[in-house]
Amino acid sequence: MKEIGASTALYGLIGHPVGHSLSPQIHNTLAEYTGLDLCYTVFDGESRERLGDAVRGAHALGIGGLNVTVPYKKDVFPYLADIDPIAERIGAVNTLVRCEGGYKGYNTDYMGLRRALEECGVDVTARDAAVIGAGGAARAAVFMYAAACEDRGAKGRTLFIINRTREKAEALSREVQEGFASVNVRVLGLYEAAGIASMTDGKILAMQCTSAGLYPDVNSSPITDPGFFKNVGFAFDAVYKPARTRFMQLAAEQGAGCANGLSMLLWQGICAYSLWTGKDPGPEAVNAVRRKLEDAQQ
Ligand code: ATR
């Protein structure tokens, strides 16, 4: 057990509820492997009204950085001293980095998803993409793809947002289209998903961002039509319990590569840790965290 002393830097997570968060395991393992004297814990922020007090109080107490989770990823905006321009366009932050006069907000969910896909050998902007869902996880995927196309200078890519409730997909589509003009965003209902075949000229990157398929609902997938999966080159599922979801199975049956959401969770944490400490934790630390998360997944 690590010794906590007067020189230990404190980091933590604000959200509600936070009891089941795996972030302490991620960051305390990274601290162990990188040899930094820091400790990470969770702060259950039950009161939305006191979020500003919590952020100002954390700064006053010298807390080095914070993660922010549901339901405060947007609510925290008024209490930030500065914000990363992409996080501002996404409209959600999950990482606060101490700066002059307060904290600067970043979004490492989108960074983490991109790193997770690249680690699987996926060239994110080489294909059109489909995001299934229009909630918080889908938001990170949609903006990850749009931002990647922008910074790679990829022109003319199509991003399909496919959701059970069409209006939610349309609202998200308008937001992303306003922020990132170079991507063509199209909205589809779940039952229209197989129609993608006639709207793209190659196999797509499909990112499943709904809660369908999450344990114990392991036999569900928001889309089951093989006509959709025939057109998928790589399938990412934001769900990580079970490790192989029905969505991944259906994609693999049609020959697609697959990954679950554990790698996104892992890399959003690594990106936050690097922003806080200026350190790249290195492969040994990354693999140690991956093993811890895999154990927790069981
Ligand atoms: P999260 O933050 O995990 O993304 P969320 O914001 O509540 O969670 O969003 C959940 C997403 O999963 C939504 O897109 C939801 O579809 P609706 O917009 O129609 O509600 C989608 N979803 C949840 N259960 C689903 C199911 N059984 N089939 C298809 N989509 C589902």
Report the 3 state secondary structure along 181-250: CCCEEEEECHHHHHHHHHCCCCCEEEEECCCCCCCCCCCCCCCCCHHHHCCEEEEEECCCCCCCCHHHHH
Confidence (pLDDT) at 8 = 98
Q: Does residue 39 lie within any of the structural domains? A: yes
Q: Are residues 154 and 21 in the same domain?
A: no
In the chain, how many domains are there? 2
Residue 8 · residue 32 · CB < 8 Å? no
> For residue range 149-165, what is the model confidence (pLDDT) as tens digits?
999 999 999 999 999 99
Tell the residue nearest (CA) to atom 16 of ligand 1: 164
139 and 272, same domain (yes or no)? no
164, 138 in Cβ contact below 8 A?
A: no
Confidence grade of residue 142 (pLDDT, cut at 50, 70, 90): very high
In terms of domains, do 120 and 256 share one? yes
Q: Which two tokens stand for residue 21?
A: 């968060």
* Residue 101 shares a structural domain with residue 230: no
Scan for tokens 């393992």, then name that residue: 29
Domain identity same for 93 and 211: no
One domain, residues 161 and 238: yes
* Domain identity same for 280 and 248: no
- 2 assigned to some structural domain: no
CATH number at residue 173: 3.40.50.720
Identify the band that residue 297 occupies on the pLDDT scale cut at 50, 70 and 90.
confident
Is 1 a member of any domain?
A: no
CA of 266 to the centre of ligand 1 (A): 22
My answer on whether 250 and 123 are in the same domain is yes
* Same domain, residue pair 116 and 229: yes
ω into 281 cis (within 30 of 0): no
pLDDT of 222 over the 70 cut: yes
Cβ(66)–Cβ(96) below 8 Å: yes
What residues line ligand 1, using a CB cutoff of 6 Å?
133-138, 163-165, 168, 209-212, 220, 222
> Do 61 and 148 lie in a common domain?
no
User: Are residues 166 and 196 both part of a single domain?
Assistant: yes
> In a mutational test of the pocket of ligand 1, which residue from 210, 223, 237, 264 has the highest number of ligand atoms less than 8 Å from its CB?
210
Ligand 1: distance of its center to the CA of 164 in Å? Answer: 8
For the segment 219-246, the average pLDDT, to the nearest whole number, is 97
CA angle 156, 160, 134 (to 5 degrees): 135
Can you give the CATH number for the domain in which 81 is found?
Answer: 3.40.50.10860
- Tens digits of residue pLDDT in 47-79: 999 999 999 999 999 999 999 999 999 999 999
Spacing, Cα 212 to ligand 1 middle (Å): 7
Query: Considering only CA atoms, which residue is closest to atom 14 of ligand 1?
Result: 133
Instruction: Tell which atom from ligand 1 comes closest to the C-alpha of 138.
Output: 4
Q: Which of 70, 161, 162, 164 to mutate to test the pocket of ligand 1 (most atoms within 8 A of CB)?
A: 164
pLDDT attached to residue 218: 97
Instruction: Say what the pLDDT of residue 201 is.
Output: 86
Question: In this structure, is residue 3 part of a structural domain?
Answer: no
Ligand 1 centroid to Cα of residue 290, in Å, is 26
Provide the pLDDT confidence category of residue 298 given band limits of 50, 70 and 90. confident
**Confidence grade of residue 1 (pLDDT, cut at 50, 70, 90):** low
Annotation marks residue 73 as catalytic: yes
Task: Extract the runs of DSSP E, i.e. beta strands, from the chain.
Answer: 9-15, 38-44, 65-68, 82-83, 95-99, 102-106, 129-132, 158-162, 184-188, 204-208, 232-237, 257-260
**Is residue 267 assigned to a domain?**
yes
What is the residue range of 166's domain? 111-260
- State whether 290 and 165 are in the same domain: no
Mean per-residue pLDDT over the chain, rounded: 96
**Amino acid 283: pLDDT:** 97
Please state whether the predicted TM-score (pTM) of the whole model is above 0.85: yes
Residue 267 has pLDDT above 70, yes or no: yes
